[in-house]
Each structure stands twice: as C-alpha cells, then as structure tokens.
Structure 1
C-alpha cells in the first residue's frame, strides 16, 4: 500500500481545526462531516478544495530507493538543517562536542615549524645534524668519525672463508688469500678457524691441493696473518676432531700427520710440538697422527725431504715422467683388461690438458704390438674415456693428428703400420671416435711401380 506524502501545511491545518475525517460526523459517502452552522459548511468546502489541490503536490524525492514515511508531527529544526549540502560537508562535530581548537595546537601540518609564539634556543648544542636549520658548526665540539668494522661470528667466518679457499685451489695465489683474510677483521679467537678450515678442506682433496694448503699455511705465517700460537691451537683442535673427520676421510690421521710434519719443516711449528702432545693425547686417532708426524721427522734428513711429502702432481711434473706413467698405465691395461682401473690411474695424474698423449701412446702401442685383440682393446678404452668426458674430442683429434704425422717414421719399425692404422681408423669411425673427414686423413702407403723385369728393377720416374 502506497503512503501518500502529506505536506507540512496540512499538518498545521489539522492541528488548528481538528480531524476532518471523523467517522461519527461523516456521511455514507465518506465525505467530511456536516456542521450545523451554514457558514462553517461553506468555509469547510473551500478548505477541502484547497487541501485536495495541495495534496497532489509531492515532496522532493529522496536518493534512497524507498520513500520515507512522513509523520504528521512537526519536524525537528535540527533535522531540516541537514538538507543543506554545504552543511553536510562540514567536518566539524554535529553533536556539539569538542573545544573547537585546531589540531596539535597549530603545530602540525606541512610546512609548519611549531606553535605560534614558540621560540627556539639559538644555542641548541644538541643539534648535530648538518641538515637541520638550527645546526651551527661553530657551537659544535670537535669530534672524530671512525669506521668500525664489526667482528664476525664463527658461522659467518666459515661462510666467508670457505669460498676463498676453494678459489685458492684453482689459482694458487697465496697473496690474494692473505689480502682477503686481512679485510675480514677476524678476532683472535676466530683466527684459529682459518688454518683449521684449510686443512679440513684439504683432507678431502688430492695431493695437489694438499701441497697448496701447506704452502698457504707457510706464507700466512710468514706474512703475519696467523701466528705460531694460532697454528698450534688449530692443530690441537683438529686432533680433537679426528674421530668425526675419520668418518668422511678414513686416512685423516695419516694425512694430518703429514701436515704437522710439513709445518715443522717450514718453521711454522716448534720442533717439540709433536713430542709434547704425544704424552697427553688420549684419543686413539690423535696418537696415530702424532706417531706418523714423529716418524717422518725422525728419518735421516727428514726435514729436508718434507718439501716433496705430497709428491709432485699435476702440470708441475716433468713431461717425461707423465709419458712414462701413461705407457705403464696402458701396459697394465693390456695385461689385466680392467678399464675402471686405467681410468682411475689417468685421473690421478691430474693433467687433463695432456690427455692427447694417452691417445697417441694408445695408437702407437696398437701399431707396435699388433693383432686385432690389442687394437680392439685400445679402441674400447678410448671409447670409455670419451663417453665419460674424461678425454675430450679436441684431445682425441690432437692425438690422432700426431699419429698421422709420425706414421712415416713408425713404418720403419713396423712394416705393416699403414694396414694396422687403416683397421684402427675403421674401428674408431664405427665407435664414433673419429669422423669420416678425419678417417680420410689417415695416410696410406703408395704402391711402387716398376718399369719391367728386364730393366733391373729400376723405379719408374714419376715425371715420365
């Protein structure tokens, strides 16, 4: 049921003259009740027409979906005041609460420097910021700015030092390592972790890296990066940690004994260091390491022999020594036929740049020994090393080209060298060790052409 909106004038009229729709005085047509006074009837009729005419007017629609129901009571003046849009946008409290003062006493907001009337002390000695408007450089005391480098913890030391040692195993420059360690600002208690970590990493490496580690400890002591007391404390810690180190490196006691003997020979440790610890060491692995170091130092001229305690590895070895070891490796392989053992021996030489010599020696041995078995075994060995990327394709090509160049000289000792090399090349092409283009480069022996039997076997001149 729709509710008809009645204007406020009707409400005032009803309040003054009463209700015109009283059921007791109205007729059956629901007309307004008749009054006994005739003049009153005429005035009531005029009022009724005016009321009906104004009742057709409607109030201004509200933005809400449903029209509010207007009561017949007089409106509140405070509510009618809200109709003004400017007053609705007023941010002041409508409840009348609040003191009406500005926020923060006028000291807040952008571009303000405080409350009105506030005076700052001109001689503000606490202002030390040069960007502060009240800063005065003449009133400031003299002070010195120093750069403070924080001292690293044990965990941070290990995280920062380990990459330095790993890079050192690649380039072998001890000066670079010393400069990196000096920049870390290590405390005295943390410095012992430097040699301890270096030796721990070298335990899992080969003889070449162990030799580099011994040189590093000697150079660090000579440059003053670590002291003798620091190095002794580091070896004592390693002796205590030997039971755990042995789990990963079974020969850790023997290797640690070599490190201590080398440090004594390099004047990094006192001579009596090993003998003093032997009496007080209770750990079995520690006693083994100390006994090993004592035995090495007690040999005649033992200190002078410590320079080669780790042997000579990698590219430092003479070329003749490397060739001799490769030939011995191939001979043992022909007798045993164990490819994994031959691969292990080649890796221990640590000369990946010299693997072309193994290819050359394998081809020469196949030519000198002869026979299909020897040739097939050499091809099988090269295939295994090539498939496991121990020998690269460039090394294979270099080795084959060296054989091709030396074949005219090899044929003097091996008459059937060309025929054996042809068979060797066919097997290599079959096993994808040699490309067809490389196979075409295999030299072949030219056939000598004679003139006739009556000429005494004279060779025909090629120019005729």
Structure 2
C-alpha cells in the first residue's frame, strides 16, 4: 500500500496537494500577483492615444467611431446617412427613384444591366472605300426614290470629313440618266441637307464638280448645262447660299465651269426664277396626270398599227417612265383589237406585247392586271361590240400560244354570256360568230 506524502494525499497513484498546503509552502512576499487582462478587439494604431499604466484612454471603446474590425478611417457611415435599417439622410426621400443602384439592395434588379446599350463610335469611312459603300445606296435610290431609306443607311455610317462627297457622287450618277432621275437627285440633296449634309458640305461638293467638269464633259457633253441646273436648284432649295454663283465671277478659267455658272445665273435671274426652278427638270414619271399617260399610250398604239415599228413603240413607252402603269398599255391594246375586229390588228398586237413581255418591259404582274381589267369590263365592251367575247377569246389564245399570257390568266378567260341557237330544224346547233374580216 502506498504511503501518503507530507501535506498530500495519494489517489490512484497520484499525489494531490491541497490549496492551503501549497500557499503555506510559498512565502507571501515571493508570490507573483497577476492582474486580469481585459481583451479588446482593437489593435494599436499610430494615431491611437498611448495606454498609461494599462488604462484605456478617456474615450471609451463603445462610443468610438473607429471600426472594431480594424477597418475604415473612423468616419461616419454613408456621410451621416446611417446604415442598414436607418431612415437615411434628411431629405433623401426627394431623390428616390423607382430603381435602386445598390447591388446589395433587395430591390436591386440585375436584369436592368443587360438592357444597357453601350454605344460604340464607328471609325470613319476612308475615301477609298466611300465609293464602294455609298454608290450602291445611291443607285438603289434612283430606282425606288425612297429618301428615308437612304437617310437611315447613311446615319448608320460615319462619313467623317467625306460628307461632301455625297452631292458629288449623286450628281455624277445623274448626269447620264433621265430628267426623272435628276429630279430625284435634287430631292435627295434637299432631304439630306440638315441631317447628313451641311451647307458647307453641299458647297464643297459642287466645288469638286466644277473643278472636274472637264473630265465629266468627255462622257456627258451636256454636263456643264446640267451642273448649272443642279446649282440653281440647290440655291432654290436653300441648300446653297444665293451668293454661291456670284462668288465665282472673275475667278474661273475653265470654259466648262463658266458655262455651268452662267446657266445657273440665268435660271436664278429670270422672273420668278426661284418658283420655276421647282420644275427645272420637267414633270416626268408618275408625276404626270393619268389622263395624259393614257392619251400617250393610245397614240403610241395607233402609230404602231400604222408603222409596225416595235422598236419605236418600245422607246416611246420607256420615255413615259411609268413601269407601274404599263397594265394600261395591255388594256388599251386589247380594247383596240376588239374594236378593230381584224386579224391584222390582233397579230400585230400579239407581236408587240410578246416583245415587251420577253424584254421584261411589261412584267407578268402588269400583264395579268391588264387582262383582269378587260375581264371585268368585257360586259360593257360587248354592248358596243357584240362579238367582244369571241374576239377576246381568239386574241387571248394567240397571246397564250406566243408565251406572253400566263396560263393562270388564260384559264380565267370569260365565256359568252348567252348562246345563240338557230331554229329547231337545224338540230340545235350553235350559230357561229361572224369571222374576223
């Protein structure tokens, strides 16, 4: 058995000393007195007041504005507007919006970021690439005449310092075209002015045209007069200042440029010249009255029946510049065949319509529209020409055999409204219509 040591007890092989015995063994003067430390989360900083004799500075940690995490500069949060769960700065409710900009706010909508469109500035088009980019747009405009389409296409580009090239290119394309296209070009310059072009751009464009007029005259001998008309029209449309022509007096050595400026000066100097310049290119295309166009087409067909010249009839139809109204020619030609009631007139009209159809001067839609108008009015035509149904059927058959009348339209050919029978003794045979003479 284990014997207990002095001032101690033995338990499970371990010697246990009581607190009293330990204190009695160490003298009081040799005891180490330790004071309890109060741990804080603050770490010492350079600007913190010194700790004297283990005491904290007069300002308590509880009331300090410094972050207890050791972060920040000790300034009030949000400029004094408070933090989470506070009312915010006084008067901040006046500036509240329906959308919050704080990504940590529960009401923040992250999908709004996807709707933000970042505008990028396109590099300006180089002068070498300008013709390749802009010329197809101008050519398409001369076919359709839609200035809004041209404007939207050009606004998507960055023309930079090459904007003055637009009037120069547009007028150059119109030199070898018809008066209708020149009118469209003048309208285009007027519509682009103020949106794409400035007055200086238009003036600089015409300066370039006058400088290169000698070369333009080689391909278009009438270029000086045409350029003069363009200048006068631009002045009338307020795209050029009235002093533009006068600024060149006595400063031009090129005879072609002098001719152009003299032409513009004459047009601007005549009585009521500004008003008359609205029709400087004449009235062409669809601007003409419908009665005038019908009269011209009837005259064209009558001259063709007399001469039989298909080329001349084609030229006259092209000069009218109304491809959307060519169905009227088909209608008038068919009516003329029915009224003439002769094989010669029918054969000649078949040759003309076949030629116009094969050269795509009269489109398939215009051909269909012309015959549908005949189908709708054949009842009225038959009042004056009783055999109109039979004559129309024979003419349509010839035209279909020549390949100028679509099958779908030919199948819609109207039948005679009433069959004429002979006496019962003839067995109910249908009485034939009189032959064409």
Interval of TM-score (by shorter of Structure 1 and Structure 2): 0.5 to 0.7
- Partner residue of 2:167? 195
1:427 to 2:398 alignment: yes
1:251 to 2:251 alignment: no
CA-to-partner distance for each residue in 1:114-153, whole Å, 9 max, x for gaps? xxxxxxxxxxxxxxxxxxxxxxxxxxxxxxxx97754443
Please give the secondary structure, in 2, of the residue aligned with 1:424: helix
Contact 1:425–1:442 (8 Å) recurs in 2: no
Contact 2:358–2:404 (8 Å) recurs in 1: no
Please give the secondary structure, in 1, of the residue aligned with 2:248: helix
TM-score (ref. length: structure 2): 0.61
1:301 to 2:272 alignment: yes
- Partner residue of 1:158? 131
1:217 to 2:184 alignment: no
- Partner residue of 1:407? 378
| Structure 1 residue runs without a partner (length 5+) | 1-145, 453-464
Please give the secondary structure, in 2, of the residue aligned with 1:222: coil
Aligned with 2:203 (options 232, 244, 255)? 232
Shift of 1:440: 7.5
Please give the secondary structure, in 1, of the residue aligned with 2:239: coil
- Partner residue of 1:325? 296
Matches within 5 A, 1:344-355: 344-355=315-326
TM-score (ref. length: structure 1): 0.58
Between stretches 230-239 and 410-419, larger displacement belongs to 410-419
Between stretches 248-257 and 360-369, larger displacement belongs to 248-257
Report the aligned-residue RMSD.
3.2
Aligned with 1:204 (options 161, 173, 176)? 176
CA-to-partner distance for each residue in 1:227-283, whole Å, 9 max, x for gaps? 223322221221221222233333322322221111011111222323443543332
1:261 to 2:232 alignment: yes
Distance across 1 between alignment mates of 2:339 and 2:397:
18
Q: Report the CA distance shift for 1:163/1:447 in structure 2 as closer, same or farther (over 3 A).
A: closer
Shift of 1:411: 2.6
Q: Report the CA distance shift for 1:278/1:333 in structure 2 as closer, same or farther (over 3 A).
A: farther
Distance across 2 between alignment mates of 1:212 and 1:203:
12
Distance across 1 between alignment mates of 2:147 and 2:236:
19
- Partner residue of 1:272? 243
Distance across 1 between alignment mates of 2:380 and 2:185:
46
| Structure 2 residue runs without a partner (length 5+) | 1-118, 425-437
Q: Report the CA distance shift for 1:357/1:300 in structure 2 as closer, same or farther (over 3 A).
A: same
CA-to-partner distance for each residue in 1:267-313, whole Å, 9 max, x for gaps? 11222323443543332332332233233323332211222223344
Contact 1:426–1:439 (8 Å) recurs in 2: no
Distance across 2 between alignment mates of 1:202 and 1:383:
31
Distance across 2 between alignment mates of 1:422 and 1:280:
71
The structure whose Rg is larger is 1
Distance across 1 between alignment mates of 2:169 and 2:135:
7
Contact 1:429–1:439 (8 Å) recurs in 2: no
Please give the secondary structure, in 1, of the residue aligned with 2:282: coil
Shift of 1:218: 1.6
